[in-house]
Amino acid sequence: MSVKVMIECNLAKGKIGDLDAFLSANVPIVRCFFGGRVISSFDEHSAVMMFDEDWHSISHHQKYMQFINNMASYSSLNRLCRLPQ
Protein backbone atom coordinates (compact mmCIF):
# COMPACT_ATOMS: atom_id res chain seq x y z
CA MET A 1 0.00 0.00 0.00
CA SER A 2 1.49 3.34 -1.03
CA VAL A 3 1.57 6.35 1.28
CA LYS A 4 1.16 10.04 0.38
CA VAL A 5 2.67 12.65 2.71
CA MET A 6 2.34 16.40 2.26
CA ILE A 7 4.06 18.85 4.59
CA GLU A 8 3.57 22.60 4.45
CA CYS A 9 5.66 24.90 6.59
CA ASN A 10 5.87 28.66 6.88
CA LEU A 11 9.45 29.89 6.81
CA ALA A 12 10.48 32.09 9.72
CA LYS A 13 11.39 35.67 8.79
CA GLY A 14 14.99 36.10 7.67
CA LYS A 15 15.65 32.37 7.19
CA ILE A 16 15.80 32.12 3.38
CA GLY A 17 19.60 31.79 3.38
CA ASP A 18 19.40 29.10 6.06
CA LEU A 19 16.73 27.28 4.03
CA ASP A 20 18.95 27.32 0.93
CA ALA A 21 21.83 25.81 2.91
CA PHE A 22 19.52 23.21 4.49
CA LEU A 23 18.07 22.15 1.12
CA SER A 24 21.50 22.01 -0.56
CA ALA A 25 22.76 19.71 2.19
CA ASN A 26 19.70 17.48 2.60
CA VAL A 27 17.65 17.22 -0.61
CA PRO A 28 20.21 15.09 -2.51
CA ILE A 29 20.28 12.59 0.39
CA VAL A 30 16.50 12.48 0.67
CA ARG A 31 15.97 12.03 -3.07
CA CYS A 32 18.24 8.97 -3.03
CA PHE A 33 16.41 7.33 -0.13
CA PHE A 34 14.97 3.96 -1.20
CA GLY A 35 11.21 3.58 -1.49
CA GLY A 36 10.11 7.14 -1.98
CA ARG A 37 9.84 10.21 -4.13
CA VAL A 38 10.15 13.64 -2.54
CA ILE A 39 9.53 16.96 -4.26
CA SER A 40 10.10 20.24 -2.46
CA SER A 41 8.96 23.67 -3.58
CA PHE A 42 9.22 27.12 -2.05
CA ASP A 43 7.00 30.13 -2.70
CA GLU A 44 9.23 33.09 -1.91
CA HIS A 45 6.32 35.58 -1.92
CA SER A 46 4.33 33.77 0.79
CA ALA A 47 7.41 32.14 2.44
CA VAL A 48 5.73 28.72 2.31
CA MET A 49 7.72 25.51 1.85
CA MET A 50 5.89 22.43 0.55
CA PHE A 51 7.14 18.85 0.60
CA ASP A 52 5.18 16.36 -1.51
CA GLU A 53 6.18 12.75 -0.81
CA ASP A 54 5.09 9.38 -2.20
CA TRP A 55 6.27 6.22 -0.44
CA HIS A 56 5.96 2.59 -1.53
CA SER A 57 4.72 1.61 1.94
CA ILE A 58 4.31 2.77 5.52
CA SER A 59 7.46 0.83 6.35
CA HIS A 60 9.49 2.78 3.76
CA HIS A 61 8.24 6.06 5.21
CA GLN A 62 8.98 4.97 8.78
CA LYS A 63 12.55 4.03 7.82
CA TYR A 64 12.95 7.41 6.15
CA MET A 65 11.62 9.24 9.24
CA GLN A 66 14.00 7.30 11.47
CA PHE A 67 16.89 8.15 9.14
CA ILE A 68 16.20 11.90 9.07
CA ASN A 69 15.59 11.98 12.83
CA ASN A 70 18.97 10.29 13.38
CA MET A 71 20.59 12.89 11.08
CA ALA A 72 18.80 15.67 13.02
CA SER A 73 17.63 17.14 9.71
CA TYR A 74 13.98 17.07 10.79
CA SER A 75 14.69 19.18 13.89
CA SER A 76 16.87 21.50 11.78
CA LEU A 77 13.94 22.08 9.42
CA ASN A 78 11.63 22.78 12.37
CA ARG A 79 13.96 25.57 13.54
CA LEU A 80 13.54 27.29 10.15
CA CYS A 81 9.75 27.31 10.36
CA ARG A 82 7.33 29.48 12.31
CA LEU A 83 4.06 28.52 13.89
CA PRO A 84 0.93 29.14 11.78
CA GLN A 85 -0.88 32.42 12.46
- Record the pTM: 0.75
The model's pLDDT over 43-71, given as tens digits with 9 standing for 90+, comes to 989 999 998 999 999 999 999 889 888 87
Banded model confidence at residue 85, pLDDT cuts 50, 70, 90: low
Which CATH number is associated with domain 3-82? 3.30.70.100
Residue-range domain boundaries for the chain: 3-82
How far is the C-alpha of 59 from the C-alpha of 64, rounded, in Å? 9
Task: Please write the tens of the pLDDT for every residue from 26-43.
Answer: 888 777 888 888 888 989
Write the DSSP assignment of 24-49 as a string of letters.
HHHHHHHHTSTTEEEEEEEETTTTEE
